[in-house]
A and B are shown apart, each in its own frame.
Chain A
Amino acid sequence: MAVKRDDDFFWEGIDQGKLLVQCCSGCGKLRHPPRPMCPHCQSLSSESVEMSGRGTVYSWLISKHPTQPDVEPRTVVLLDTEEGTRLVGNMLAGETVKVGDRVQFAVGEFRGMRLPMFTTKGA
Chain B
Amino acid sequence: MNLNGNTAIAGIGQTEFSKESGRSELQLAAEASIAAIRDAGLTPADIDGTMTFFEDTNDELQLANTLGIQNIRWMARSKGGGGSACATIQLAASAVASGAANAVLVYRAFNERSGRRFGQPPAASGPVQRDLHLAMGLDTPAKIYSLWYKRYMETYGLTNEDLGHYVVTAREYAATNPAAWYYEKPITLADHQESRWICEPILRRLDCCQESDGGCALIVTTRERARDLAQPLVPILGAAQSQLWNGDIMFDYYRDDPGEFPEAADVARQLWQVTGLSPSDIDVAMLYENFSPIVFMMLEAHGFVPRGEARDFVKSGQLRIDGQLPTNTNGGLLGEGYIHGYNNMTEAVRQMRGMAANQVKDAETVFVSSGRSAMILGRG
Instruction: Select which of A11, A63, A89, A111 is within 8 A of B143 by beta carbon.
Output: A63
Asked whether, in the complex, the Cβ of A88 is within 8 Å of the Cβ of B196, the reply is: no
Given contacts A11-B130, A64-B197, A69-B196, contact A86 B138 (CB under 8 A): no
Complex CA gap A38/B170 in Å reads: 44
Contacts of A10 in B (CB 8 A): 132
Asked whether, in the complex, the Cβ of A32 is within 8 Å of the Cβ of B130, the reply is: no
Complex CA gap A45/B32 in Å reads: 51
Asked whether, in the complex, the Cβ of A115 is within 8 Å of the Cβ of B130, the reply is: yes
Complex CA gap A50/B151 in Å reads: 27
Asked whether, in the complex, the Cβ of A90 is within 8 Å of the Cβ of B137, the reply is: yes
Contacts of A64 in B (CB 8 A): 197-200
Given contacts A66-B142, A76-B137, contact A33 B199 (CB under 8 A): no
Contacts of A86 in B (CB 8 A): 253-254
Contact with B along A22-54 (1 / 0, CB 8 A): 000000000011000001000000000000000
Interface of chain B: mostly helix, strand, loop or mixed = loop
Instruction: Select which of A58, A69, A115 is within 8 A of B135 by beta carbon.
Output: A115
B254 to A, closest residue via Cβ: A86
Asked whether, in the complex, the Cβ of A62 is within 8 Å of the Cβ of B199, the reply is: yes
Q: Is A121 located at the chain interface by the 8 A CB criterion?
A: no
Given contacts A66-B121, A66-B140, contact A113 B130 (CB under 8 A): yes
Interface of chain A: mostly helix, strand, loop or mixed = strand
Contacts of A110 in B (CB 8 A): 135, 137
Q: Is A9 located at the chain interface by the 8 A CB criterion?
A: no
Asked whether, in the complex, the Cβ of A63 is within 8 Å of the Cβ of B199, the reply is: yes
Contacts of B138 in A (CB 8 A): 63, 76, 88
Instruction: Select which of B131, B132, B202, B254 is within 8 A of A61 by beta carbon.
Output: B202
Instruction: For chain B, residues 112 to 135, give those with C-beta under 8 angstroms from any C-beta of chain A.
Output: 119-121, 128, 130-133, 135
Asked whether, in the complex, the Cβ of B119 is within 8 Å of the Cβ of A32, the reply is: no
Q: Is A59 located at the chain interface by the 8 A CB criterion?
A: yes
Contacts of A65 in B (CB 8 A): 121
Instruction: Give B126 Cβ to nearest chain A Cβ, in Å.
Output: 13
Number of A-B pairs whose CB atoms are under 8 Å? Answer: 86
Asked whether, in the complex, the Cβ of B136 is within 8 Å of the Cβ of A90, the reply is: yes
Contacts of B202 in A (CB 8 A): 61
Which of B132, B138, B139, B150 lies at the interface centre, i.e. has the most chain A CB atoms within 10 A of its CB? Answer: B132
Contacts of B253 in A (CB 8 A): 59, 78, 86, 88
Given contacts A58-B151, A61-B146, A61-B202, contact A69 B197 (CB under 8 A): yes
Instruction: For chain B, residues 130 to 189, give those with C-beta under 8 angstroms from any C-beta of chain A.
Output: 130-133, 135-140, 142-143, 146-148, 150-151, 154
Contacts of A60 in B (CB 8 A): 147, 150
Given contacts A64-B197, A67-B120, contact A74 B137 (CB under 8 A): yes
Asked whether, in the complex, the Cβ of A99 is within 8 Å of the Cβ of B136, the reply is: no
Instruction: Give B167 Cβ to nearest chain A Cβ, in Å.
Output: 18
Which of A39, A76, A114 lies at the interface centre, i.e. has the most chain B CB atoms within 10 A of its CB? Answer: A76
Asked whether, in the complex, the Cβ of B120 is within 8 Å of the Cβ of A89, the reply is: no
Instruction: For chain A, residues 75 to 91, give those with C-beta under 8 angstroms from any C-beta of chain B.
Output: 76, 78, 86-90
Contacts of B119 in A (CB 8 A): 66
Contacts of B148 in A (CB 8 A): 59
Contact with B along A87-123 (1 / 0, CB 8 A): 1111000000001000000000011011110000000
Complex CA gap A65/B128 in Å reads: 14
Complex CA gap A73/B200 in Å reads: 10
Instruction: Select which of A11, A39, A62, A88 is within 8 A of B136 by beta carbon.
Output: A88
Known A61-B199, A62-B201, A115-B135; 20 more pairs at CB < 8 Å: A7-B132, A39-B245, A39-B246, A59-B150, A59-B154, A62-B200, A63-B137, A69-B197, A76-B137, A76-B143, A76-B147, A78-B253, A88-B132, A88-B147, A89-B136, A90-B137, A110-B135, A111-B128, A113-B128, A116-B136
Interface residues of B (CB under 8 A from A): 119-121, 128, 130-133, 135-140, 142-143, 146-148, 150-151, 154, 196-202, 245-246, 251, 253-254
The contact sample of 10 A-B pairs, CB cut-off 8 A, is A7-B132, A67-B120, A69-B198, A73-B200, A76-B143, A86-B254, A88-B132, A88-B133, A114-B130, A116-B136
